[in-house]
Structure 1
Amino acid sequence: MSTNIAAYVTGNSDHAEISGLDLFKSVNLLSIHELLSTCPMLVLEAGETLAAPGEPNQVVHLLLRGRLHVHQDSLESEPTSTIESGKCVGVLPLFDRRPCSQYVVANQESRLLVVDEDRLMELINSSHAVARNVLCTVMQELRQQGSPELEQKDLQEKYQRVSSTDDLTGVHNRRWLDEMLTRQIMRSATAQQALSVAMVALDNFKEFNNDFGKNIGDQALYTLAQTIMKNARPTDLTARYEGNRFVMVLPGSNVDGARHFAARLREAVGETNIVVPDQCILPPMTISLGIVELKAFVSAEGILLDAAAALARARDKGGNWVSE
């Protein structure tokens, strides 16, 4: 029996089941709600077969509730393994285009989320946390099979890419910022090119979180991150610094260029509603920014401290302000 998951995602207990899936650990479900709402849900009775050898593998099944048994040679043989709630079925075969090689049968009534290849790729592209979880699942399956298909170096490079990204917002994280900013400062100083840094924060975010709750607060941060990305140039670099603070590195921009960027971003944020799927639409928030231009060779830590001090001055003005 197949149904749509749209209503299923919104319930409290069911929301917990979705977040308990290996594929969605540490994922902001609000940010992928629209994609999840289009995925069908499959219910199997005890004894029903989910997959059989030779069948094409075109979807990934995520076990929300129940238990599945895996049989190697025939349905009459003893199960070789058990798949418990939260696990995925079919991730590796989907990527390497192999047909199913085992029988997978429901041991009890089981409820599964069905994700086709196109939807899985959309989830990966929209959430770095999903990308990381998919990679971990593939690595685990390869280890279990003893497969040499992916070299260890390649896996390490892929893991490094996803581990440099903030799970909630999809932009780069503090670890990446610290490494990249040092290189960018050296490059700009050597080439004698301008470089500016802007530190951005939502105004009154603590009160907002207290009033509306953490989930909606997370959506506000996600909305801000996406607005920053939409207003950034291709050469600009964005990272989540900590809490509700983000950092923009603006290569080739002097303080005047940073001012123009800050004004443009402040206006864009002030025009962007915070949309919480199936819950509410909140009016735009305001932001404060601290901007700093690189005047001499300083450390990444030093320029970030200067930007943080400028941001504090903007907040002291009452917020919705830009300070240098």
Structure 2
Amino acid sequence: MDIQQLLVNKNFFEQAPLFTSVVPGEIAHYLEECSQLRIKSGEVLLTPDSRNAYLYVIIEGTLEVRLESPERTPLTLLSCGECVGEMSVIERRTPSAYVMAAVDSVVLAIAHDTLWAMVGANHAIARNLLIILSGRIRTDNAIIADSAVIIRHFQKKSFTDALTGLHNRRWLREFFSREIARCQMNEDAATLALLDVDNFRTFNNTFGHLVGDHALGVVTRALIANFRSNDLIARYGGDEFLVLLPETSLAEARKISERMRKAVYEKGLSLAGAVTDSATISVSIGIAQMDNKDNLDDLITKADAALYRAKDLGRNRVSD
């Protein structure tokens, strides 16, 4: 199909958004400056590796848009009348995606200068191009928004312990450190509590890992119910949990931790009978108050030492 045949092809002009409400005869001399390209199936028309000088309107066939590489799954398919390359030809920059033929196709290639000449001479072309660009921006924004949702989803998963639903060690390294720095900057007190389930390895070996997982769930629910909304809670690993209590003195932290210890023990008693009379759990808790020069590792070391003192004193208790 040559340009003269294209000019009398009503179906093409009705399908092409760029030519909506455009009288073909009014732009005939501009279209005569354009060329038609035949693209074989699988052939790449646009690539981020090369600058683009044309807006392409599909006359026959189907084009695919692919991000990152030609081997990726197509983001979208474009059919007769639709155009590609408008953003890159206007900005005179490289395309942001790969465009290739899904089947043998024919496109109308409108050069940069010819496009602007049509825009300047024909209001319908100018309006249509604005509508096309607006649609592209809206689509791009939707993709960005969807991507942001996906990123947040996976970021949340990367910060969450799969078993307990609490924040994990990766999260606590970042956010505990931030909160410690904030308390130090404001000259506020802060206390770290390190909780360990007593004899958990023996418990696991005796009753099995499923019961052990249930026991960790009991501890988790007690943690959530008995610490405050501004306390930072995370699973440190295995049967250990860390809680940072900002703006909290050692004496206040002891009261809160003691309440927590009792809650775990009372809930742990509910395991008896559900499994066996001896299937009870308790926790030992070591607490350490932050000094002005302490970082997270310093606080953990001090809380760990306090935890060992609680164990040495017979377990199921709080120590500093």
TM class, shorter-length:
0.5 to 0.7
Q: 2:215 aligns with which of 220, 226, 236?
A: 220
Quick one: distance in 2 between partners of 1:309 and 1:237?
20
Task: Give per-residue Cα distances to partners, 1:286-310, cap 9 Å, x unaligned.
Answer: 1100000112222211111211111
Q: Which has the larger radius of gyration?
A: 2
Deviation at 1:149, TM superposition (A): 8.0
Deviation at 1:314, TM superposition (A): 0.9
CA RMSD of aligned residues (A): 2.1
* 2:278 is aligned with 1:252: no
CA contact 2:286–2:318 (8 Å) conserved in 1:
yes
CA contact 2:268–2:282 (8 Å) conserved in 1:
no
* 2:318 is aligned with 1:322: yes
* 2:204 is aligned with 1:209: yes
Q: Identity across aligned pairs (percent)?
A: 36
Task: Give per-residue Cα distances to partners, 1:120-162, cap 9 Å, x unaligned.
Answer: xxxxxxxxxxxxxxxxxxxxxxxxxxx9485323321221122
* 2:304 is aligned with 1:311: no
* 2:236 is aligned with 1:241: yes
Amino acid at match of 1:198: A
Alignment of 1:163-312 (within 5 A): 163-273=158-268, 280=275, 284-312=280-308
Match of 2:146 in 1: 151
CA contact 1:220–1:274 (8 Å) conserved in 2:
no
Quick one: distance in 2 between partners of 1:160 and 1:200?
26
Q: How does the TM-score come out when normalised to structure 1?
A: 0.51
Amino acid at match of 2:299: I
Quick one: distance in 2 between partners of 1:244 and 1:273?
14
Quick one: distance in 1 between partners of 2:263 and 2:270?
15
Deviation at 1:284, TM superposition (A): 3.8
CA contact 2:176–2:232 (8 Å) conserved in 1:
no
Quick one: distance in 2 between partners of 1:269 and 1:228?
8
Quick one: distance in 2 between partners of 1:258 and 1:273?
22
Alignment of 1:67-86 (within 5 A): none
Quick one: distance in 2 between partners of 1:155 and 1:181?
25
Deviation at 1:274, TM superposition (A): 6.4
Quick one: distance in 2 between partners of 1:190 and 1:273?
39
SS at match of 1:272: helix
Match of 2:130 in 1: none
Quick one: distance in 2 between partners of 1:228 and 1:188?
22
Amino acid at match of 2:312: D
CA contact 2:215–2:268 (8 Å) conserved in 1:
no
SS at match of 1:235: coil
In structure 1, runs of 5+ residues without a counterpart are: 1-146
Quick one: distance in 2 between partners of 1:318 and 1:273?
17
Q: 1:220 to 1:274 in 2, by over 3 A?
A: farther
Quick one: distance in 1 between partners of 2:197 and 2:212?
10
CA contact 1:271–1:284 (8 Å) conserved in 2:
no
Alignment of 1:45-194 (within 5 A): 148=143, 150-194=145-189
Amino acid at match of 2:317: W
CA contact 1:172–1:239 (8 Å) conserved in 2:
yes
Amino acid at match of 2:293: F
Quick one: distance in 2 between partners of 1:198 and 1:240?
12
Quick one: distance in 1 between partners of 2:287 and 2:260?
13
Q: 1:149 to 1:183 in 2, by over 3 A?
A: closer
In structure 2, runs of 5+ residues without a counterpart are: 1-141
Quick one: distance in 2 between partners of 1:151 and 1:266?
43
Quick one: distance in 1 between partners of 2:264 and 2:146?
44
SS at match of 2:285: strand
CA contact 1:223–1:274 (8 Å) conserved in 2:
no
Quick one: distance in 1 between partners of 2:302 and 2:248?
17
Q: How does the TM-score come out when normalised to structure 2?
A: 0.52
Q: Bigger CA drift: 148-157 or 176-185?
A: 148-157
Deviation at 1:275, TM superposition (A): 6.0
Amino acid at match of 2:306: A
Quick one: distance in 1 between partners of 2:282 and 2:161?
22
Quick one: distance in 1 between partners of 2:145 and 2:182?
34
CA contact 2:204–2:212 (8 Å) conserved in 1:
yes
Quick one: distance in 2 between partners of 1:209 and 1:272?
18
SS at match of 2:267: coil
The count of corresponding residues between Structure 1 and Structure 2 is 177
Deviation at 1:279, TM superposition (A): 6.2
Q: 1:151 to 1:219 in 2, by over 3 A?
A: same
